[in-house]
């Protein structure tokens, strides 16, 4: 036996106003909704290592260097910088070097008056990122000789060049200290013109 109750088509026309509280329950009867809300409940797949951006800033919160490996509008970048500097400066000494930030993870370390901070993906290798920072500091140190914050302020372009030798597109290119420093020093020697240079055997 079958009952068919005919409902007027017009039922569909009544605006969904009122009694919403009773209706809503009927839509979302599932624990799944909760699980989806729970970001960390799911384990995602390993991604290749990638740094999203690197920031250098002083204890006073002054930005000394920024390097972005993802494309973002300038406004967004400024917002992110403000936010991150504030988060990291507010952490005290004994804490871990890792902070969850949105979908990314911040890995940071302080060297004297400067904070070095990398944003990496959630499943990336945090410890190795700390060593990326350390290797970069070593490279700066080797180049400037006992590097200090002022070196980076006055020679910011060199700090960029050194970083470029070490990391491209967020990936570590050359981990050998000797090779990276040599590349920079070579370029400093390149004062001559291309004509002169090309006359030497390049390969």
Partner 1 sequence: MPAVSKGDGMRGLAVFISDIRNCKSKEAEIKRINKELANIRSKFKGDKALDGYSKKKYVCKLLFIFLLGHDIDFGHMEAVNLLSSNRYTEKQIGYLFISVLVNSNSELIRLINNAIKNDLASRNPTFMGLALHCIANVGSREMAEAFAGEIPKILVAGDTMDSVKQSAALCLLRLYRTSPDLVPMGDWTSRVVHLLNDQHLGVVTAATSLITTLAQKNPEEFKTSVSLAVSRLSRIVTSASTDLQDYTYYFVPAPWLSVKLLRLLQCYPPPEDPAVRGRLTECLETILNKAQEPPKSKKVQHSNAKNAVLFEAISLIIHHDSEPNLLVRACNQLGQFLQHRETNLRYLALESMCTLASSEFSHEAVKTHIETVINALKTERDVSVRQRAVDLLYAMCDRSNAQQIVAEMLNYLETADYSIREEIVLKVAILAEKYAVDYTWYVDTILNLIRIAGDYVSEEVWYRVIQIVINRDDVQGYAAKTVFEALQAPACHENLVKVGGYILGEFGNLIAGDPRSSPLIQFNLLHSKFHLCSVPTRALLLSTYIKFVNLFPEIKTTIQDVLRSDSQLKNADVELQQRAVEYLRLSTIASTDILATVLEEMPPFPERESSILAKLKKKKGPGTVTDLEEIKKERSSDMNGSAEPTSVNSTPSPSADLLGLGAAPLTNSAPPPSSSGSLLVDVFSDSASAVAPLAPGSDDNFNLSLKTGLEKKNTITSSFVPAYGMFVCKNNGVLFENQLLQIGLKSEFRQNLGRMFIFYGNKTSTQFLNFTPTFLCLNLQTKPVDPTVDGGAQVQQVVNIECVSDFMEAPILNIQFRYGGTFQNLSVKLPITLNKFFQPTEMSSQDFFQRWKQLSNPKQEVQNIFKAKHPMDAEITKAKIIGFGSALLEEVDPNPANFVGAGIIHTKTTQIGCLLRLEPNLQAQMYRLTLRTSKEAVSQRLCELLSEQF
Binding mask 54-73 for partner 1 (x = CB under 8 A): ---------x-xx--x-x-x
Binding mask 14-43 for partner 1 (x = CB under 8 A): xxxxxxxxxxxxxxxxxxxxxxxxxxxxxx
> How far apart are CB 106 and partner 1 at their closest, in Å?
10
From residue 170, alpha-carbon distances to 119, 132, 177, 197 in Å are 10, 11, 18, 31
Under the criterion CB under 8 A, does residue 146 sit at the interface with partner 1? Answer: no
Under the criterion CB under 8 A, does residue 98 sit at the interface with partner 1? Answer: yes
User: Which tokens sit at 74?
Assistant: 């300038």
Under the criterion CB under 8 A, does residue 112 sit at the interface with partner 1? Answer: no
Site for partner 1 in 160-179 (CB under 8 A): 160-161, 164, 168-179
DSSP one-letter code for 46: P
Site for partner 1 (CB under 8 A): how many residues?
110
Which residue, 23 or 112, has its beta carbon nearer to partner 1? 23
- 64, 63, 54: which is closest to 153 by C-alpha? 64
The rounded distance, in Å, linking the Cα atoms of 152 and 147 is 8
Under the criterion CB under 8 A, does residue 95 sit at the interface with partner 1? Answer: yes
Are the C-beta atoms of 99 and 122 separated by less than 8 Å? Answer: no
Binding mask 74-93 for partner 1 (x = CB under 8 A): x---x------------x--
Under the criterion CB under 8 A, does residue 201 sit at the interface with partner 1? Answer: no
> How far apart are CB 84 and partner 1 at their closest, in Å?
14
The rounded distance, in Å, linking the Cα atoms of 87 and 79 is 12
Which residue, 110 or 158, has its beta carbon nearer to partner 1? 158
β-strand pairing of 114-121 with 51-58:
antiparallel
Under the criterion CB under 8 A, does residue 186 sit at the interface with partner 1? Answer: yes
β-strand pairing of 63-68 with 167-168:
unpaired
User: Which tokens sit at 164?
Assistant: 């470029």
């Amino acid at each position: 036996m079958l009952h068919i109750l005919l409902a007027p088509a017009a039922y569909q026309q009544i605006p969904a106003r009122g009694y919403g509280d009773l209706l809503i329950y009927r839509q979302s009867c599932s624990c799944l909704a909760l699980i989806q809300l729970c970001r960390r409940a799911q384990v995602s797949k390993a991604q290749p290592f990638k740094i999203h951006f690197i920031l250098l800033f002083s204890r006073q919160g002054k930005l000394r260097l920024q390097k972005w490996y993802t494309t973002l509008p300038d406004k967004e970048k400024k917002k992110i910088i403000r936010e991150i500097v504030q988060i990291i400066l507010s952490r005290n000494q004994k804490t871990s070097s890792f902070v969850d930030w949105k979908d990314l993870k911040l890995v940071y370390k302080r060297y004297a008056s400067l904070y070095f901070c990398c944003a990496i993906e959630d499943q990336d290798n945090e410890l190795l990122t700390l060593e990326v920072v350390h290797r970069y500091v070593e490279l700066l140190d080797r180049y400037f000789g006992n590097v200090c914050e002022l070196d980076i302020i006055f020679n910011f372009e060199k700090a960029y060049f050194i970083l470029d030798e070490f990391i491209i597109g967020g990936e570590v290119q050359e981990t050998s200290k000797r090779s990276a420093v040599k590349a920079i020093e070579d370029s400093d020697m390149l004062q001559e013109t291309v004509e002169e240079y090309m006359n030497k055997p390049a390969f």
